[in-house]
Structure 1
Amino acid sequence: MLIVSSCATPKKVSKSTPPVTINKISEVTEQTVTASDYLRQAEKASPQAAIALMLKAANTYNTEKKPVKSLWLAGELHKLPLSDSQNFETLLVKAASLLALNKLKDAEEQLLLANKLIDENRIAANYQYYRLASVIEKNKNNPIRSNSAALLAFSLNDNVVTDDIMNLWNNLSTLSSWELQQLKKQQLPYFDGWLDLITKANKWGDNKFILDQQIIKFQSQYSNHPANFIAEQLLLVSEIEAPLVKNIAVLLPLSGQHKSIGEIVQQGVLAAYTNNDISLTFIDTNKLDFTTLGLRFTDEEIDHVIGPILKPNVDQYIAQADIELPSLLLNIPTLDILGVNHFAFSMKREDEAIQAATVLSNKNYKHPVLFSTQDNVSRKIASSFANKWQSLTGTMLEVVILEANENMQKSLKLSLDIDVSKARIRNLEAQIRQKIETENRNRRDIDMIFIAAPTTHTRLIKPFIDVNTSTYSNTIPMFASSLSYDGSNDDAEIRDLAGLTFSEIPWLLDSQWQNKEANTTSQNLWPNRSESLQRIYALGYDSLFVVSKLKQLKELPYLRHYGQTGELKMGADNIISRSLLWGQYTNGTVKEVDME
């Protein structure tokens, strides 16, 4: 295949099959044969040779950035008697052309046809196939599949250049740990080395001294790995100095209707406060004129800001053009548009719904059902989960919206076909005219259930499903979001929800990430605090650490903060996203489980 790098002065890395040995760096020879040259040669060639030359011409049109001509020529090729391998190559040319024309769906259809040839005719997938698959999946916002294809393409690329290595690093290093674990399970070429280097950068990226030591260990263990090029670059990176943090203003509602929320965030911030060199100034947003805030910050020499937390106050704050201080907003603005110095950190549930849908879709469940109650939070989780599921699997998820009243059981019976089973039993008894010992049978096609509902409703939904699952059926695995876990762990709840697996923040789950000392102190001070308020407390706790890392998190996309609200990373849009842990009700307790 005549796919060449478009870099001005690319460097070629010679490599073999894994494990790779980097032998030398040389210049890639510029391509001199044009598509027109190939077509002229085809006019004088035998039929089979002409087809091969036309395929080269079609590929070359794409490298010449002439996708319309490439697409036309591929169409003409399909009129000829092609072998399976030639048909496969022609489909890839079409996919590449359509991709260049921004026709993503059409390109994907061509790649699916090529994939069918791979399955049915045992044609080997090549570099171009995986490269196209990687681009298409990236455009569909499926980073795991995109990077999986990219790694396979890399392993088949005979003309690896340093930009290929850098692109692979840039994409892999922005993944969350749970996404990396999904890739690890696929046993992809070179991945163990990539994972080792990324994990070190995630953890120690803001500590130059320790990171350099870890990189040297990596180089010793993976001396022939292509990521050594990245390791050398990381060693050359100058330490990014942490910003001088002296005076932090914390904007919270400390009076009025939302006083309790503001006070709990304040308590979380103070619990994390251990540096006496930093001054905290708490400002009540309920008594604040935002238009004069910039002058106040100047007078009080404020250098960083945490908050506001209420969305209307966030909108007001970012509208103040005279405030250019690094600001960690504790909510997403209405328009989702942030200034260069604005960073948003919130507890939005969509993050965990996307994580759950991705992890569960990779477990090959074919007939899942999602049960959701009608409240706004549950429906947001359900919508995010269903959309991500469809994006990943190409299939619509069956979603059942339950009324949180006496009609809930009726909806559950209908969705599980319990009433259909009862009707069959009544009909049989009527025919034989006697009472028989029977058992209701649920639907047999459901192989996974995801619940998006508060704990009180989950405690009704799960036991009902358990009771109405036939003893002749396999147990249906059930999963839920953190909305289904209230942290109380009383005996009745553990019994009702036995076997349920759910996503959760480290603060509320006994795990290696949980700050047990801080959590115990909080429990002693506020033993009756609800789980929703504990989440807000954890938000405040993490915010003080994150505000001091804003510069590093922005400039080092691979850096992570392992907080009490989850594994935190900065996106290109300045929005901090979270990755959560998994917990399970099992053996009379709640414990962390590995789902990735």
Structure 2
Amino acid sequence: MMDRLRLPVLALIIHLLSACSSTPEGPVLGELPRTPQANVQQLLQQAATLEGEQAWLLRLSAADQSARGGDLLQARRILEQTPLEQLKPAPQVFAYTLQAELALAQQRPDQALTAIQHNSFQRLAELPLPQQVRSHMARARTFEANNQPLTAIRERIFLAYQLNGQQPATAENHQAIWQLVSGLSDEQLSATGTEPDLNGWISLGRMVRQAKTLPQQQQAINLWRQQNPNHPASRQLPDELNKLLTFVDQPPRQVALLLPLQGSLANIAQSIRDGFMAAHFQAQQEGNALARIQIYDSTQFKTLDSFYQQAQADGIELVIGPLEKEPVRQLANMSQLPIPTLALNYTDPGQQVPAQLFQFGLAAEDEAREVARRAWAEGHRRAIALVPSGDWGNRVLEAFRQSWSSQGGTLLAAETIAEPGKLAAQLVEVFRLRESEARAKRLQQQLGTQLSFQPTHRQDVDFLFLAATPQQAQQVRPALIFQYVGDVPVYGTSQLHAATQNRTQYLDLEGIRFTETPWLLNPNTLLRRAVEQQWPQASSSLGRIYAMGADAYLLASRLKQLQALPDTRLEGVTGVLQLNTWRRIERQLPWATFHNGEVIPWTTTQAKP
């Protein structure tokens, strides 16, 4: 838990800066707590013998020392028992900075935000430099945790000047800025303002993102440095970009696409193949295509061993596939694979896999985790979940539950979606509407008169997580409105979006926010237009499968880069792609909402503050 406080790094920064810091504290500002040699209990015992400011400063020192020692609960208790509002500005800044650090360590970003907004921070610039650095670091991390990346970047840009090139603190700060810039939306990266340093970082992020290949990214970085020679990042590039400049990629020369082109999965396999080959042809036009693609029908091989023998004889260097669940499980049980393989499906959770096996797919579990992240970032803390019955619903619910609880969220109830005729009664129960009706009846009996009454739902629910088919979602949303629960925000996965452009159907889903692939949200991309000319169905929900094929091609060309540079994120048409430590490709998806019978992007500016 203590690694979240990052106090070892902070101590190093303070040590580097302490020699050159001044101490402008005085009667008005007050003193900052010292760092005595005594332990926590000795400090508290000494504080008990004193009164007023001297006692409070000792208590703050004890709280800080408790946090550094890993006892976060004790540190919080000491702060709660100290009259912070009676302190002078300097110790107040110290106390509320520590309070923010503790809240972040305990995954309470909303509490951290409240702490750093205390009015004592208006005097921060008058305090010694080490305290300024510590407070600005806490502020930056707080804004980041509260989904305010641009504000976090501004804090860190200011922090960079305070660090004044001191190493390794400056390098770490630059890397943190780049991570924030890399996570900005296209909308945010296209913005311009009057802040030169911020504009420089944003233009760097935009140029690197727009580059489609590693050589193009390297060229973009060098061009940016030429255009911005005096920018802080030009003088010291983030470590990730330095590695990118020196990385020498060698894409596989011969790639196998292994798919079941016959049988029950043939239609899906053919859509993946067509998306894959469309991406290949586009890459050829741009001069950066893989050398050779060979397609194999997995239904023609009796065993995986026989396929790999054939692939080795054909000189294959990378396998994309298989698609079927069972062969992927078989691969996972092998100790070693003869050829590196990017499976187009996932093994069972927690299963150990050989080092040569990578996994990619359109897992709804990724979307459930994305819902948890987005809802938390938008300030929600208590959820109710509705999912379909069966294995798929169970997996999605478990992914949401784990992600939500790991952030500190509370899942108040989780239900499988009832049949249409029973859905209304289910919502009445889960939102406790009968309790409201019972209160109204008791009040009517007490008053002896008929009252105009509208049921009210339980007030401890922040949002509803909905994983459902389009038909189920069309039943849920009107039922919520009918049962007076229409004010509860609904967050869903892409499965509820049929992509039919049917306005009548979309009106029944009004206001639902959901994750979706960039493919279906951006109809004017060159690749999608090219695919739709050949296969018009690529504009429907089947488009996600074509997009999966296109991103499989992207991953084939950049897999070595993802391995060598773990922070690399690829802008795919199924989402932003990143390789995790279990060699699974994780997707981060954009958001949309239904409004007036249309699907529109759901941007960060629309989010609940």
- Indicate yes or no: 2:300 matched with 1:300: no
Partner of residue 63, structure 2 = 91
SS in 1 for 2:358: strand
Q: Given the alignment, which residue of 220, 223, 231 partners 1:213?
A: 223
Give me the whole-angstrom Cα distance separating, in 1, the residues matched to 2:385 and 2:8: 46
Q: Given the alignment, which residue of 162, 167, 175 partners 2:167?
A: 162
| Post-superposition offset of 1:111 | 5.1
Q: Given the alignment, which residue of 483, 492, 504 partners 1:480?
A: 492
Contact 2:381 2:409 in 1 (8 A): no
**167 and 231 in structure 1: CA distance in 2 versus 1, 3 angstrom threshold:** closer
Identify unmatched segments of 5+ residues in structure 2: 1-6, 20-31, 110-140
Partner of residue 67, structure 1 = none
1:36-83: CA deviation from partner (whole Å, max 9, x where unpaired): xxxxxxxxxxxxxxx988x4336xxxxxxxxxxx66766766766463
Q: Given the alignment, which residue of 383, 394, 407 partners 2:398?
A: 383
1:248-302: CA deviation from partner (whole Å, max 9, x where unpaired): 1122223344344333322322332314842323241563422344432221011
| Post-superposition offset of 1:386 | 3.9
Identify which of structures 1 and 2 has the higher relative contact order when contacts are C-alpha pairs closer than 8 Å and 6+ apart.
Answer: 1
Aligned AA for 1:544?
Y
What does residue range 89-488 of structure 1 map to in structure 2 within 5 Å?
Answer: 89-98=61-70, 106-107=71-72, 110=75, 114=79, 120=85, 121=87, 123-125=92-94, 129=98, 136=105, 144-145=144-145, 151=156, 161-170=166-175, 173=178, 178=183, 197-204=204-211, 206=214, 207=216, 208-220=218-230, 223=231, 225=232, 228-230=235-237, 234=241, 238-274=245-281, 275=284, 277-284=291-298, 287-320=301-334, 323-334=337-348, 335-365=350-380, 368-392=383-407, 394-405=408-419, 406-423=421-438, 438-444=453-459, 446-469=461-484, 475-488=487-500
Partner of residue 518, structure 2 = 506
SS in 2 for 1:343: strand
Give me the whole-angstrom Cα distance separating, in 1, the residues matched to 2:514 and 2:240: 40
Give me the whole-angstrom Cα distance separating, in 1, the residues matched to 2:172 and 2:521: 36
**573 and 72 in structure 1: CA distance in 2 versus 1, 3 angstrom threshold:** farther
Aligned AA for 1:333?
T
**56 and 407 in structure 1: CA distance in 2 versus 1, 3 angstrom threshold:** same
SS in 1 for 2:311: helix
**562 and 158 in structure 1: CA distance in 2 versus 1, 3 angstrom threshold:** closer
Partner of residue 19, structure 1 = none
| Post-superposition offset of 1:476 | 3.3
User: Bigger CA drift: 447-456 or 424-433?
Assistant: 424-433
Contact 1:268 1:538 in 2 (8 A): yes
Aligned AA for 1:145?
A
Partner of residue 502, structure 2 = 490
Contact 1:108 1:136 in 2 (8 A): no
Aligned AA for 1:240?
F
Aligned AA for 2:378?
K
Give me the whole-angstrom Cα distance separating, in 2, the residues matched to 1:191 and 1:349: 36
| Post-superposition offset of 1:594 | 0.7
Give me the whole-angstrom Cα distance separating, in 2, the residues matched to 1:522 and 1:590: 24
- Indicate yes or no: 2:585 matched with 1:585: no
Aligned AA for 2:279?
A
TM-score, scaled to structure 2? 0.71
Give me the whole-angstrom Cα distance separating, in 2, the residues matched to 1:143 and 1:292: 54
| Post-superposition offset of 1:352 | 2.5
Q: Given the alignment, which residue of 577, 581, 588 partners 1:568?
A: 577
1:163-206: CA deviation from partner (whole Å, max 9, x where unpaired): 22333455555569557899999x99x87765554554454482
Give me the whole-angstrom Cα distance separating, in 2, the residues matched to 1:193 and 1:80: 55
Give me the whole-angstrom Cα distance separating, in 2, the residues matched to 1:387 and 1:256: 36
| Post-superposition offset of 1:506 | 1.2
| Post-superposition offset of 1:580 | 0.8
Contact 1:506 1:580 in 2 (8 A): yes
1:410-460: CA deviation from partner (whole Å, max 9, x where unpaired): 110122333344445666777888877654444455443332222222111
Contact 1:294 1:322 in 2 (8 A): no
Contact 1:165 1:226 in 2 (8 A): no
CA RMSD between the two structures: 4.7
Give me the whole-angstrom Cα distance separating, in 2, the residues matched to 1:191 and 1:118: 39
| Post-superposition offset of 1:110 | 2.5
Give me the whole-angstrom Cα distance separating, in 2, the residues matched to 1:176 and 1:497: 33
Aligned AA for 1:162?
Q
Partner of residue 535, structure 1 = 544
| Post-superposition offset of 1:543 | 0.3
Contact 1:251 1:284 in 2 (8 A): yes
| Post-superposition offset of 1:373 | 3.6
Partner of residue 57, structure 1 = 37
1:545-583: CA deviation from partner (whole Å, max 9, x where unpaired): 210111122223443322211111223433221111111
| Post-superposition offset of 1:590 | 1.2
1:128-179: CA deviation from partner (whole Å, max 9, x where unpaired): 9499659947999999439969959956976974222333455555569557
Percent identity of paired positions between Structure 1 and Structure 2: 19
Identify unmatched segments of 5+ residues in structure 1: 15-27, 30-50, 59-69, 99-105
Give me the whole-angstrom Cα distance separating, in 1, the residues matched to 2:422 and 2:352: 41
SS in 1 for 2:599: strand
TM-score, scaled to structure 1? 0.73
- Indicate yes or no: 2:532 matched with 1:520: yes
Partner of residue 35, structure 1 = none
Aligned AA for 1:361?
W
SS in 1 for 2:578: strand
**264 and 4 in structure 1: CA distance in 2 versus 1, 3 angstrom threshold:** closer
1:223-242: CA deviation from partner (whole Å, max 9, x where unpaired): 3x367412699468645333
**251 and 497 in structure 1: CA distance in 2 versus 1, 3 angstrom threshold:** same
Give me the whole-angstrom Cα distance separating, in 2, the residues matched to 1:236 and 1:246: 23
**Alignment length, in residue pairs?**
529
Q: Which has the higher helix share?
A: 2
